[in-house]
Amino acid sequence: MGGHNRGVTTTDTDLTAGDVAWELDELLDGAESADVLLDQAEAASKSIEAEFKGNVADLDAAGLADMFKQLADVSELVSRAGHYVMLQFSVNTQDPALGAAMAMMQERSTTISGRLIFVDLEWAKVPDDKADQMIADPSLSFVAHHLTNMRQMRPHLLSEDAEQVLNATSVTGAAAWVRLFEELTSSIEVTIEGNSMPLDAALSQLQSPDREVRRTSAEAVSSSLEEGLRTRAFVYNTLLLDKSVDDKMRGFDTWVSSRNLSNEASDESVQALIEAVVGRYDIPHRWYALKAQVLGLDKLADYDRAASVADTDETIGWTQATSIVTDAYGSFSEELAGVVGRFLNENWIDAPTRPGKRGGAFCAYTVPSHHPYVMLNWTGRTRDVLTLAHELGHGVHAYLAREQGIFHQTTPLTLAETASVFGETVTNNRLLSMIDDPGERFGLLASTLEDSIATVFRQVAMNRFEDRCHTIRRTEGELSVERFGDVWAETQIAVLGDSVEVTDGYRNWWSYVPHFMGTPGYVYAYAYGQLLALSVYARYAEEGDAFVPAYLDLLRAGGSKSPEELGKIVQCDLADPGFWDAGLNIVEGQLNAATEAATAAGRI
C-alpha cells in the first residue's frame, strides 16, 4: 500500500480516527436503561416457565413454535441489554460504574437463563422419532437447525439441580476470571522513549521498517508484560482447571471437544485440519528465511516478524482508508458496499485507541432487529486498513443474516471468519490491481502472505500452545510462569523455524491473548475460516460476477444450516479430507507470488 498518502492531506483527527465513535442508545429500543429491558425479560421468562415447564415433551409443533417465539423475545431483550452494557465497557474498562453495570448485567441474565434451563433438558428427553418429525415441521423452520444442535448436547447434560448450580455460580466462576483478565490487560500501558501508550498502539510499532523502533518497542512491551505476569498466569491456571472440571462432569473426551461440538465439527475433522497445517510449517519457514534476506539480516528476531517490507513507514488517515475499503467491497458487490457505507456513516463503529479501551478488534452482532457494531483500535498503520476490511466482513455477514432470526443469525466459529477473510482478500486484490511499481507490489503481496501466515499457521501454533497447557494442567497440575514461557517458546519456535530467534522477553507474550481465557479452543477456527475463505475466493476468481449471488446466499443463510451444507452453497466440500490441502496450496501460491515480486523489485 506504499504511496497511498501521495497528494493526500490528513488531519491529526483523521489520522487517529479520533471522532469515530459508535452510538449505542438505539440498542435500548426506547427503554430508559438496560435494567428496564432485563425487567421485561425476567417477567417473560417467568411466564414461559409457568406455561411450559414440565410440558415440553407433550407439545405439538405449534406449541413448540409458540414457546420458541417467546424464548426469542427473551433472547432479544437480554441481548440488547447485554450488548449495550458490554460495548460501553469494552471502550472504557477502567470505569468502576461500567464494571459494576457489567457485573449486574451478568448476574441478572444468569438468573433469567437459570429459569429457562428446563427447555434444553426437556427437549433432550423427547424421543428421536417425535423430535425428527417436529424439526421437519414448517412452523419450526425458524429454529429447526438450533433444535437439532440442542439435541447434540444430550450426552453432556446434567441433572436440572446440577445445571442450576453451575448456572448460578458461573458469574463468580470463569466469567469473573475472564473479566479480571480483560481489566488487567486493558490497563497495561507501554512506555517507549518516555511516551506512554496502550498495548495495542505499542504492538503496532512492530510493523515499522526501522529495526531499532521494532526492537525498543518489543522490549518495552516485554517489560510491561512482566508487571502482573504472575497474576495473569494464576488467572489462566484457574480457567484451565475450571474447564477441566466442567469437561469431566459433562463427559467430554478432550479439552477441545466441547468447542468442536459448538462448532459443529468432529474431533477427527479438527485434528485433520491441525495436522494438515502443522505438516506445512515449511511455508512460514520459507517466508521468514526470505524476509531475513529482504531485510538484510542473517536471522530475524521475533520482533521482526511483522516488520513492514515497504520502503517507508507511511501512515493513512481514516477518510482515505474507508474510501479504499468501500471501493474494494463495491468492486465485488454494490449491495455489500451499501452496507459498509451504513457502518461508516451511521455511527456503527468505534475506532480510536484510548486508555482503558479493550485491545484488538471485533464485530458484535447484537440482535437481528437492530444492527451490528464494529470496534477497532485505529493507529493509522496500513495494517489497520485490512483490519477494517476484516471486521466489516463480519459486519456485512451479521447484517445480511439478520433475516434468519435470533436462533440462526450466527454461524459456528468455523465459518465465522469466512466473510471477514473474504472481505480482506477482496481489499488486498483490489489494491494490487491499482499498483504498477514492483516495490509496492512486493509490499502488498508480502502483507497478503503474512496475513495468511498469521491467520493459519500462527493460530494453529497458538492451538498447540493451548493443547499443551490444558494437557499439562490436567495431568501434572498448575503451570508456573516459567513453564508457560517454555511451552509458548516451543510452540512458537516450531512455526517460526530456524530463521527466527525467539528472545527471552517474547516468552511471556502469551499472557495478553484474550482467546485463551474467554474462548478456549477458539483459535483454530481462524485457520479453518482463512482456508475456507481462500477457497471461496478462488471460486470467485474462476467464475467472476456469476459467483456473487451464491456468496450473498451463503451470508444470508447465517447459521441456519450445518457447515457442510453452507459450504455446498459456494461449491466447497468441507467433508473432503483434501480440502485443507487445497487451501494450503493457495497460501503456498501467495508465497511464490511474493518471492517473484521480491526478485522483480530487486529486494533479493
DSSP string, 128-163: HHHHHHHHTSGGGTTTHHHHHHHHHTGGG---HHHH
Cβ pair 360, 514 in contact under 8 A:
yes
Average pLDDT of the chain? 94
Higher model confidence: residue 560 or residue 4? 560
CA 185 to chain centre: 18
Strand partners for 378: 352
- 8-state DSSP, 498: T
* Residues listed for the chain: 604
Lowest model confidence (mean pLDDT) among 25-29, 200-204, 436-440, 512-516: 436-440
Helix 334-345 to helix 382-400 angle (10° resolution) is 110
Helix 282-294 to helix 579-600 angle (10° resolution) is 10
pLDDT at residue 414, rounded to an integer: 84
Averaged pLDDT for residues 316-320? 94
Decide if pLDDT at 4 tops 80.
no
Decide if pLDDT at 6 tops 60.
no
> What nine digits make up the cell of 391?
471486521
What's the whole-model pTM score?
0.83
Averaged pLDDT for residues 515-525? 94
Cβ pair 506, 546 in contact under 8 A:
no
Decide if pLDDT at 2 tops 60.
no
Decide if pLDDT at 3 tops 60.
no
- 8-state DSSP, 190: E
C-alpha 57/C-alpha 412 separation (Å) is 27
> What nine digits make up the cell of 593?
507470488
Residue ranges, comma separated, of all CATH 1.10.1370.30 domains in the chain are: 190-604
- 8-state DSSP, 519: S
pLDDT at residue 434, rounded to an integer: 77
Strand partners for 197: 190
Cβ pair 453, 205 in contact under 8 A:
no
Percent of the chain with pLDDT over 90: 83
- Band of the pLDDT at 10, cuts 50, 70, 90? low
Structure confidence by residue, pLDDT tens digits, 429-446: 887 887 888 888 898 899
Cβ pair 412, 264 in contact under 8 A:
yes
Task: Find all residues with CB under 8 Å of 245, minimum gap 6, and list them.
Answer: none
Count CB atoms within 10 A of the CB of residue 302: 22
Residue 197: φ, ψ to 5°: -150, 160
C-alpha 283/C-alpha 453 separation (Å) is 8
- Band of the pLDDT at 98, cuts 50, 70, 90? very high
> What nine digits make up the cell of 243?
474447564
Higher model confidence: residue 528 or residue 491? 491
Residue ranges, comma separated, of all CATH 1.20.140.70 domains in the chain are: 31-172
pLDDT at residue 368, rounded to an integer: 98
Percent of the chain with pLDDT over 70: 98
Instruction: Give the domain 190-604 fold.
Output: Neurolysin; domain 3 (1.10.1370)
Averaged pLDDT for residues 145-161? 96
Strand extents, DSSP E, 160-212: 189-192, 195-198
Helix, strand or coil, per DSSP, at residue 462: helix
* Dihedral (Cα; 325, 326, 332, 333), 10-degree rounding: 150
Strand extents, DSSP E, 129-260: 189-192, 195-198
Averaged pLDDT for residues 215-232? 97
CA 257 to chain centre: 19
pLDDT at residue 366, rounded to an integer: 98
Grid-cell match 491467520, residue found: 455
- 8-state DSSP, 265: -
- Band of the pLDDT at 228, cuts 50, 70, 90? very high
When mean pLDDT is compared over 129-143, 418-432, 433-447, the highest value belongs to 129-143
Averaged pLDDT for residues 76-102? 96
Residue of 242, 239, 247, 267 lying closest to 155 (CA atoms): 247
- Band of the pLDDT at 383, cuts 50, 70, 90? confident
> What nine digits make up the cell of 257?
471437544
Q: What is the number of alpha carbons within 13 Å of residue 11 lying toward its C-beta?
A: 6
- Band of the pLDDT at 312, cuts 50, 70, 90? low
> What nine digits make up the cell of 251?
463427559
> What nine digits make up the cell of 303?
520482533
Averaged pLDDT for residues 67-81? 98
SS3 for 287-329 is: HHHHHHHHCCCCCEEHHHCCCCCCCCCCCCCHHHHHHHHHHHH
Averaged pLDDT for residues 557-566? 94
Instruction: Return the CATH class of domain 31-172.
Output: mainly alpha
Residue of 525, 208, 192 lying closest to 383 (CA atoms): 208
Decide if pLDDT at 1 tops 50.
no
Structure confidence by residue, pLDDT tens digits, 464-487: 999 999 999 999 999 999 999 999
C-alpha 197/C-alpha 476 separation (Å) is 38
C-alpha 452/C-alpha 530 separation (Å) is 7
pLDDT at residue 311, rounded to an integer: 66
C-alpha 79/C-alpha 100 separation (Å) is 18
C-alpha 279/C-alpha 596 separation (Å) is 24
* Dihedral (Cα; 406, 254, 480, 175), 10-degree rounding: 20
The amino acid at residue 602 is G
Q: What is the largest CA-CA distance in the chain?
A: 75
Three-point CA angle 127, 132, 133, nearest 5° = 100
Lowest model confidence (mean pLDDT) among 253-267, 392-406, 417-431, 515-529: 417-431
Residue 118: φ, ψ to 5°: -55, -30
For residue 171, give Cα distances in angstroms to 91, 181, 184, 300, 466: 22, 14, 18, 44, 24
Decide if pLDDT at 289 tops 50.
yes
Q: What is the number of alpha carbons within 13 Å of residue 77 lying toward its C-beta?
A: 22
Decide if pLDDT at 577 tops 80.
no
C-alpha 516/C-alpha 511 separation (Å) is 9
Structure confidence by residue, pLDDT tens digits, 38-53: 999 999 999 999 999 9
pLDDT at residue 381, rounded to an integer: 82
Residue 472: φ, ψ to 5°: -65, -40
Decide if pLDDT at 150 tops 50.
yes
Strand extents, DSSP E, 367-433: 373-378
C-alpha 268/C-alpha 63 separation (Å) is 38
